[in-house]
């Protein structure tokens, strides 16, 4: 199963440039963008240090806590990640990304009920938020509820035809359900999605 990868550089990478063009705002934006690149490169502690500096300059800037939470999560500090996400949620209570992030944290602790609750809350805010549909499917698959997992993965790819993780998961689900033709179709769609996105194939989708 493949959980959704959080696209840090897309979600909050340049959010700050819509604000007033003050020197402080520019510095905070630069720190946030550099940290996002460091997260992409796997240099999590350096990213955390930059984001902490950015927060000291502007504690109310949305997105910075989200990025720092992701750096904490990827470095294995789940409690610090959870604290940052709940702080971000206070500032952006309607953010499906933040609620989804809290769901991922719960899932990584094998705590499925709160993971499911956070994913559903994310969908309450935005029913077209495909990552939450995918990760609901992951929980159902892990629980061996393959029919409901199929429903969620199919919803995810219907919303985003280039969602490679969801196509991968859907192919696995079809295999569990004995749906060979549907699995072949899902694998073909996975290859197309990866080609469109420039994502390298890892060979896992081979029939």
C-alpha 102/C-alpha 99 separation (Å) is 5
pLDDT at 16: 43
C-alpha 117/C-alpha 158 separation (Å) is 22
pLDDT at 22: 75
Asked, colleague to colleague, whether 1-111 and 128-201+203-207 share their fold, the answer is: yes
pLDDT at 6: 59
C-alpha 37/C-alpha 47 separation (Å) is 8
Written out in words, the top-level CATH class of the domain with range 1-111 is mainly alpha
pLDDT at 201: 55
Q: Does domain 128-201+203-207 sit in CATH 1.25.40.10?
A: yes
Category of 179 on φ-ψ map: left (φ > 0), alpha (ψ -120 to 50) or beta: beta
Radius of gyration of the chain (CA): 18
* Positions in the chain whose pLDDT score sits under 50: 8-20, 203-207
In the three-class reduction of DSSP (H, G, I as helix; E, B as strand; rest coil), residue 174 is classed as helix
- CA atoms within a 13 Å half-sphere pointing along the CA-CB vector of 84: 25
pLDDT at 197: 81
Domain ranges in the chain? 1-111, 128-201+203-207
pLDDT at 200: 58
pLDDT at 5: 64
C-alpha 141/C-alpha 59 separation (Å) is 39
């Amino acid at each position: 199963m493949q959980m959704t990868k959080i696209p840090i550089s897309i979600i909050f990478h340049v959010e700050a440039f819509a604000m007033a063009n003050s020197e402080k705002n520019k510095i905070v934006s630069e720190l946030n963008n550099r940290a996002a690149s460091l997260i992409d490169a796997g240099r999590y502690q350096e990213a955390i240090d930059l984001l902490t500096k950015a927060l000291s300059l502007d504690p109310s800037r949305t997105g910075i806590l989200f990025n720092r939470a992701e750096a904490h999560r990827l470095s294995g500090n789940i409690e610090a990640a959870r604290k940052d996400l709940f702080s971000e949620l206070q500032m952006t209570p309607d953010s499906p990304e933040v609620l989804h992030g809290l769901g991922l944290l719960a899932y990584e602790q094998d705590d499925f009920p709160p993971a499911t609750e956070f994913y559903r809350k994310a969908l309450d805010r935005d029913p077209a938020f495909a990552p939450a549909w995918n990760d609901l499917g992951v929980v159902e698959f892990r629980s061996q509820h393959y029919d409901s997992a199929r429903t969620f993965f199919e919803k995810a790819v219907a919303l985003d035809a280039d969602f490679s993780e969801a196509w991968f998961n859907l192919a696995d689900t079809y295999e569990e359900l004995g749906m060979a033709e549907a699995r072949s179709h899902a694998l073909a769609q996975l290859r197309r999605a990866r080609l469109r996105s420039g994502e390298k194939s890892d060979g896992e989708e081979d029939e």
